[in-house]
Amino acid sequence: MRELLNKLLALTTENEVVEFKEAKNQYDKNKLGQYFSALSNEANLKGSEYAWLVMGVKNDKSIVGTTINDTQLNDYKNELAQHSSPRLSFELVTRIEKDGKQVILCKIPSAPQGQPVSWKGHYYGRDGESLGALHDTERDRIKIQNTALDWSAQLVPDATIDDLSKEAIEFARKQYIEKNKKIEAEILKWDDITFLNKAKVCIQSKITRTAILLLGKPESDHFINPAQAKISWILKDKENLEKDYEHFGCPFIISVNEVKNKIRNLKYRYIKDGTLFPDEVDQFDPYIIRESLNNCIAHQDYRLNGKINVVEREDGVLTFTNVGTFIPESVEQVIKSDAPESRYRNPFLSNAMVNLNMIDTTGSGIKRMFNIQRSKFFPLPDYDLTKVKVQLSITGKVLDVNYAKKLAQMPLLTLGEIILLDKVAKGKVIADDEAKELKAKSLIEGRKPNFHISSTVAKATGEKADYIKQRGIDDGYCQKIILEYLNKFGEAKREDFEKVLLDKLPDVLDIQQKKNKIKNNLQSLRKQGLINIKGKIWKMSKLK
Question: What CATH number did the domain enclosing 531 receive?
Answer: 1.10.10
Residue 436: pLDDT band (50, 70, 90) is confident
Looking at the fold, whether 169 and 216 belong to one and the same domain comes out as yes
Q: What is the pLDDT of residue 42?
A: 92
Looking at the fold, whether 422 and 291 belong to one and the same domain comes out as no
Mean pLDDT of 431-435: 77
CATH number at residue 318: 3.30.565.60
Looking at the fold, whether 254 and 398 belong to one and the same domain comes out as yes
| Cβ neighbours of 166 (radius 10 Å) | 12
Q: What is the pLDDT of residue 238?
A: 84
Looking at the fold, whether 95 and 186 belong to one and the same domain comes out as no
Name the residue with higher pLDDT: 307 or 142.
307
CATH number at residue 128: 3.30.950.30
- Work out the percent of the chain whose per-residue pLDDT is above 70: 85
Mean pLDDT of 70-84: 90
Name the residue with higher pLDDT: 378 or 302.
302
Element (H, E) at 429: none
What angle is formed at CA 237 by the lines to CA 234 and CA 242, rounded to 5 degrees? Answer: 45
Name the residue with higher pLDDT: 228 or 454.
228
Lowest-pLDDT range, 55-59, 64-68, 360-364?
360-364
Number of domains in the chain: 5
Looking at the fold, whether 196 and 186 belong to one and the same domain comes out as yes
Lowest-pLDDT range, 11-15, 144-148, 292-296?
144-148
Q: What is the pLDDT of residue 56?
A: 92
Q: What is the pLDDT of residue 404?
A: 52
| Closest alpha carbon to 343 in 16, 33, 91 | 91
Which residue, of 386, 406, 426, is where some domain finishes?
406
| Cβ neighbours of 7 (radius 10 Å) | 11
Looking at the fold, whether 375 and 396 belong to one and the same domain comes out as yes
Residue 146: pLDDT band (50, 70, 90) is low
Which residue, of 199, 224, 249, is where some domain finishes?
224
Looking at the fold, whether 79 and 22 belong to one and the same domain comes out as yes
Domain of 522? 475-540
Asked if 41 contacts 17 with a C-beta cutoff of 8 angstroms, the reply is no
Which residue, of 143, 166, 187, is where some domain finishes?
143
Cis geometry, peptide bond prior to residue 251 (ω within 30 degrees of 0): yes
Residues in the chain: 544
Looking at the fold, whether 158 and 135 belong to one and the same domain comes out as no
Looking at the fold, whether 423 and 399 belong to one and the same domain comes out as no
Residue 67: is its pLDDT beyond 60? yes
If you compute the radius of gyration of the chain from its CA atoms, what whole number of angstroms results?
Answer: 29
Looking at the fold, whether 18 and 120 belong to one and the same domain comes out as yes
Asked if 7 contacts 53 with a C-beta cutoff of 8 angstroms, the reply is no
Asked if 39 contacts 84 with a C-beta cutoff of 8 angstroms, the reply is no
Residue 147: is its pLDDT beyond 80? no
Q: What is the pLDDT of residue 38?
A: 94
**In this predicted model, what pLDDT tens digit does every residue of 379-402 receive, in sequence order?**
889 999 888 899 999 988 876 555
Residue 173: is its pLDDT beyond 60? yes
What residues contact 125, with CB distance under 8 A and at least 6 apart? Answer: 38, 41, 42, 45, 132, 133, 134, 135, 138
Mean of the per-residue pLDDT values of the chain: 84
Looking at the fold, whether 239 and 220 belong to one and the same domain comes out as no
Lowest-pLDDT range, 36-40, 55-59, 193-197?
55-59
Looking at the fold, whether 130 and 39 belong to one and the same domain comes out as yes
Q: What is the pLDDT of residue 468?
A: 42
CA distance 508 to 472: 9
